[in-house]
Amino acid sequence: MKATAIRFDEAVTAANEVGKITLDYFEKLANLQLNAARTYADLAFTNTTAALQVQDFDGAKNYLGKQAEVARGVLEHIAKDSNEVITVARGYAENVQSLVKKSVGEVAVKKGA
């Protein structure tokens, strides 16, 4: 009966550690999403403001000429944001995997003892 209690305590401890890692992951992911939303909202606001300031053919030509640069900037932000999400997700997976290996190793050692 004592072995069951110890394993339960170990399981609870491991679950708490996974919970902390997961909470940290979600916090990082939420911050990435909020920052991305701010960035894209600022880009949209700036671009819309520029469009509303067009008053003649030359202004329209100038505005439309800058749209390739705007699109390039958006794509760069998307690539950067995607890489950050991949990095955070990879870190999460590595942390959980490390924790599982550690827990399995501890159980194997205790079982053999």
pLDDT score of 1: 45
- Read off the tokens for 52: 């509303």
pLDDT score of 84: 97
Running DSSP on this structure, what letter comes out for residue 1? -
Band of the pLDDT at 14, cuts 50, 70, 90? confident
End-to-end CA distance of the chain: 17
C-alpha to C-alpha distance for 92 and 26, rounded to whole angstroms: 10
pLDDT score of 72: 97
Q: What is the mean pLDDT of residues 40-65?
A: 97
Q: What is the mean pLDDT of residues 76-103?
A: 93
Q: What is the mean pLDDT of residues 38-48?
A: 97
Say how many residues make up the chain: 113
C-alpha to C-alpha distance for 77 and 19, rounded to whole angstroms: 31
pTM of the model: 0.74
